[in-house]
Structure 1
C-alpha cells in the first residue's frame, strides 16, 4: 500500500494540474452522470451534497445543486464545526444565500439546521481518490467518517471524483467508512452493493 500522505499529495498535485476549463468540463459530465444515477433511484428524495471549495479546486457541484432543486429533491449540506470535529446538517433551498467561512467553505446564511438526518437517502461525497473497494482518500480530517456513522448504514454514499477508482489500495483503518460508489467524468462504478 502506498503511504496515505504521499498518495494524498500526488492526487492533490494531479488535480492542480487540471486546467480550470478541464475541471469545469469534468464537473459538467459528473453532473450529468449524477442525474442519470438518481433517475435509477426513484426512492431517493433527500440528497446531501457538498458545496465546492474553490481553493481546493473541487468538483463544481453548483449546477447539480440547481438541477436537484428543479427536480424537487430535498437538498442538504453540512457546516463543519471545527472545534468538535463534527459536521452539522443544514437544509438548502433554491433561495439559500451562501458566504465563505474562514476556511473558504461556502455556508448558507442563515443556516437552517436539521436534526433529523435519518431522512437523508444519499450523500454525494468529495474526495481526492477512491479505490475499487470504496476506500476514500479525503483531506485527512475524518469529518465524513464521523458523519456517516451518525447517518447510519442504509444511506448511499457516492464519491464524486475527477478520476476513476484507483487500482492501488488506499490505506485505511477500521474506523474508515467505505463508499458505495463513485461518479467520475467517464461514468459511474458501484463498489459496494446495498
Structure 2
C-alpha cells in the first residue's frame, strides 16, 4: 500500500476512537512506557505534543518532572527539529503545523538525550515508522550515536506487519502500545 493511502487510512482509524477510549488507551500506553527501565533510568527525556489523536504524553511529562527528569520538546526550525527544555506544559505554544512547541529556550545538544518518545501514524515490529511525510524525526535521528533510546508510542491499531521504507528512514529501538512493549531489533534490551 502506498504511503499516502496508508497515512489516510490510519489517520481516519485513529480519529474514530471515542474520547473515553482514546483517554484510556493513551493512559495505558503511557503507563507501559513509564514502567520500562529505559524510562526510569533516563535523565533527559524528549516527548512530543500530540496531534490528530496521537497517544497523549501528559502523564509521562508529569511523572518525569516529579522524578526530577529533564524534559525537552521539539520545535521546528526550518527543515530541522531542535529540542528545548520546558518546566511546565504552559511553556508550549502553537507553532509550525499547529503543533504545540517550546516558545523559547536553549537548544539541547542531541548527545544529552537519553530517551526520545517519537510519534507517528504507523509502525512495524522492525522499528520502522510512517510519519506525516516531512522527515523531521528521520533527519534528527540520522547518525545518532551513544545512549539515545528511541521509542515509538502508539496504539495497537497503528501496528502494521510491514511498512514501505526508504534509505533515509530511521529505525526505532522499541514500540510501546496500550497492551505491550516490543523490542524492534537485535541489540536492544530493557523491555519487561
TM-score (norm 2): 0.89
Contact residue 123 and residue 160 of structure 2 kept, 8 A: no
Contact 1:132 1:165 in 2 (8 A): no
CA contact (8 A) 2:85 2:108 kept: no
Q: 1:152 aligns with which of 145, 149, 154?
A: 145
Matches within 5 A, 1:88-127: 88-94=82-88, 96-101=90-95, 103-109=97-103, 111-127=104-120
Q: Which residue is equivalent to 1:28? A: 27
Find the counterpart in structure 2 of residue 59 from structure 1: 55
- SS of residue matched to 1:99: strand
Deviation at 1:5, TM superposition (A): 1.4
Q: Distance in 2 between matches of 1:20 and 1:165?
A: 17
TM-score, structure 1 as length reference: 0.88
Report the number of matched residues: 187
Q: Give the secondary structure class of the aligned counterpart of 1:113.
A: coil
Please list every run of 5 or more consecutive structure 2 residues that lacks an aligned counterpart in the other structure: none
Does 1:85 pair with 2:83?
no
Q: 1:140 offset after TM fit, Å?
A: 0.9
Match of 1:191 in 2: 184
Question: How many angstroms apart in 2 are the aligned matches of 1:187 and 1:59?
Answer: 14
Equivalent-residue separation in structure 1 for 2:92 and 2:126 (angstroms)? 35
**How far apart, CA to CA, are the structure 2 residues paired with 1:116 and 1:107?**
17
Name 1:171's counterpart in structure 2.
164
The Cα of 1:96 is off from its aligned counterpart by 4.9
What stretches of structure 1 of length at least 5 have no aligned partner? Answer: none
Query: What SS does structure 2 have at the residue aligned with 1:176?
Result: coil
Instruction: Give CA deviations for 1:66-114 in whole Å, capped at 9, x if unaligned.
Output: 1110011111111012xx31001101223752221252211223x1122
